[in-house]
Amino acid sequence: MDATSKPHNIPPAMGLYAEKNKIFQLMQNLMEALLVHQPSDPIDFMISHLKKDNNEVPSILIVGPPASGKTTISHWLCKHLGASYLCLRDLLYNNSLKKSKEALAYIAQKEKVPDELWVALLEERLNSEDCVNFGWVLDGFPKTRKQVLLLQSIGISPQHVVVLYAPDTVLMERNLGKLLDPLTQEVYHSTFDWPIDVTVQKRLVVPEGISEQSTTRKLLKSQRNIPGILQAYQENHKRINADQPCADVFAQALNYVQSRPRTNAPFVPRIILLGLPGSGKSLQAALLAQKYDMVNICFGDLLREKVAAYTAVGELIRPYLESGYPVIDSVVLRVLKERLSQHDCQTFGWVLHGFPRDVDQADLISHCHHEPNRTFFLNLPAEVAMQRICQRTTDPVTGERYHSIFKPPTEEEVHQRLCRNPKDSPEHVELKIDFYNRQVADLEDYYEDAIFINADQDPYTVFEYIESCLVNPLPVKNTYPI
């Protein structure tokens, strides 16, 4: 959506193939990997990199002060995304890692494990098959800027960094209330998460290192280190307030990690707007066309233009428009394909409304190589649609449009001469709504990546949401329900 780079002049077939197979993102990822690793044999390296086919798998850091909920959010994200959970404790006791014994030796001597050793352990773990194929969520690391720089030096760069924060008083209360089940190592809380099992209640103990003085020291250390970590991840971090219900924190974190950063890949918008009559499709199409110079195609107007121009295809369409019957699909496809193939549509993109009306027509668009890359359903209650349409009128003298509720005329003379289009009668609108409701479920199934918007709100709010889905890549969808 970078207007300064237009015109793109990308043929439709090429654009469809590149977007479907993520060619531009693939090239960008390859270049990043080459610059980070600088292999001696770039060709073999790129072949090996492509075989991994893991550009879309999650790579997430969860950082924050003690008791901010890092472990809980990390586990929930892993369960939802199907990723591997990583933390320093698991690295330490993972016998499959070659350097785990070396790290345990430091622990046995009550010495601090060097940062370089932690990073080496992490690098070895990230090369495991599960992390490569399904992604990973790292809990509570890095803790300092030095650790961040060590990670970057070996090419470990997460796509998303979630930073949890909360007031110190809240964190203190959470940490001091922690209790540990020595048998299962499960952590509970005396206020927020008390176990139901009486047997478990009796064997709970206070974890080592949990005291007011120790917690204060850890919080101060975290406050000193967090700014340095954020400085290293300025472009890909999100701060989330952890002083709210855990489900809300998780929802915000999940929404963020499923988002994708903007890219410089050329993007020619091909948009379809679907919705009930009165849902605002025409207005949204006009706003998009005005701001992004894309072609606004109202399918009904397109057919009427052909008839008005007395073209050969227009003469085929005329009997259908005069009788009120739908134009046959073969003629529809001919008109639509001709318009979408023109230079302005291929260069600047298009926004189509009034078509398709059913799945068969949606299939026609795909088969003529003009498949949309964004489909929006503008959802609106039927009673609101009736109110919007049936109460609108037009001044035959000035052509000004009015509405008895939202835009009534101020002059009585104007009010007396207002006329209503016969197509806006309640009976006619009810037929249109009934037809749409019979087709919408199949259309929603057909357009699996469609975006659903509540159209019963300010039209400019709707436009801002549509716009955000154009300038930003769509979120990554996963198949791992909670």
Residues 218 and 241 occupy one common structural domain:
yes
Q: Classify residue 142 as exposed, middle or buried by CB count within 10 Å of its CB (0-12, 13-18, 19+).
A: buried
User: In this structure, is residue 7 part of a structural domain?
Assistant: no
Using DSSP bridges, classify how beta strands 187-189 and 178-180 pair: parallel, antiparallel or unpaired. antiparallel
Per the structure, the complete domain to which residue 290 belongs is given by 270-471
Helix (H) or strand (E) holding 30: helix 23-37
User: Domain for residue 179, yes or no?
Assistant: no
> Does residue 436 surpass a pLDDT of 80?
yes
- 335 and 416 assigned to the same domain: yes
Please name which of 97, 115, 94, 96 lies closest in space to residue 106, comparing C-alpha atoms. 115
Question: Measured between alpha carbons, how far is 156 from 138 in angstroms, rounded to an integer?
Answer: 12
DSSP 8-class letter at 342:
S
Q: What is the pLDDT of residues 9-68, one digit of tens each?
A: 666 667 667 777 778 878 877 887 788 778 888 888 888 878 777 677 899 999 999 989
Q: Is residue 135 part of a domain?
A: yes
Strands (E), 12-144: 59-63, 84-87, 136-139
pLDDT score of 262 more than 50: yes
What pLDDT does residue 4 have? Answer: 53
In this structure, the number of other CB atoms found within 10 A of the CB of residue 130 comes to 13
**Residue 19: inside a domain:** no
Residues 143 and 275 in one domain: no
Q: Which two tokens stand for residue 35?
A: 């610059």
User: Do 243 and 338 reside in the same domain of the chain?
Assistant: no
Would you state the pLDDT for residue 10?
Answer: 60
Phi, psi values for residue 238, rounded to 5°: -140, 125
The answer on 228 and 326 residing in a single domain is: no
Instruction: State the pLDDT confidence band at 480, using cuts at 50, 70 and 90.
Output: very low
pLDDT digits (tens, 9 = 90+) for 402-417: 887 778 888 888 888 8
Express as a percent the part of the chain with pLDDT over 70: 95
Task: Name the average pLDDT for the chain.
Answer: 86
Report the pLDDT value the prediction gives residue 298, as an integer from 0 to 100.
Answer: 93
Domain boundary among 257, 281, 316: 257
Q: What's the pLDDT at 477?
A: 63
- The whole-angstrom separation of Cα 346 and Cα 268 is 8
Give the per-residue pLDDT at 481.
39
Q: Residue 458 sits in a domain of what CATH number?
A: 3.40.50.300
- 363 and 428 fall within a common domain: yes
The verdict on residue 44 lying in a domain is no
Distance CA 395, CA 212 (A): 75
Cα 199 to the chain's mean position, in Å?
44
The pLDDT value recorded for residue 6 is 59
| Amino acid at residue number 3 | A
- DSSP assignment of 123-157 equals HHHHTSHHHHHH-EEEES---SHHHHHHHHHTT--
Query: Same structural domain for residues 229 and 306?
Result: no
Q: What is the pLDDT of residues 139-149, one digit of tens each?
A: 999 999 999 99
CB 150 within 8 A of CB 116: yes
What is the residue type of 412?
E
For residue 41, tell me if it sits in a domain.
Answer: no
Q: What are phi and psi of 461, to 5 degrees?
A: -70, -40
How many separate domains does the chain show?
2
| Same domain (yes/no): 225, 289 | no
CA-wise closest residue to 58 among 21, 90, 84, 27: 84
Residue 164 in domain: yes
- The pLDDT of residue 482 is 37
Among 117-131, 160-174, 407-421, whose mean pLDDT is lowest?
407-421
Token pair 């409304």 is found at 353
> Looking at the structure, do residues 353 and 381 belong to the same domain, yes or no?
yes
The alpha-helical segments, DSSP class H, found in 324-405 are 329-340, 343-348, 359-367, 382-390
For residues 243 and 315, membership in a common domain is answered with: no
Lowest mean pLDDT among 105-114, 390-399, 461-470: 390-399
**Percent above pLDDT 90 for the chain:** 39
Are 399 and 442 contained in the same domain?
Answer: yes
Residue 378 resides in a domain: yes
The reported pLDDT for the residue numbered 272 is 95
Q: Do 247 and 275 have their domain in common?
A: no
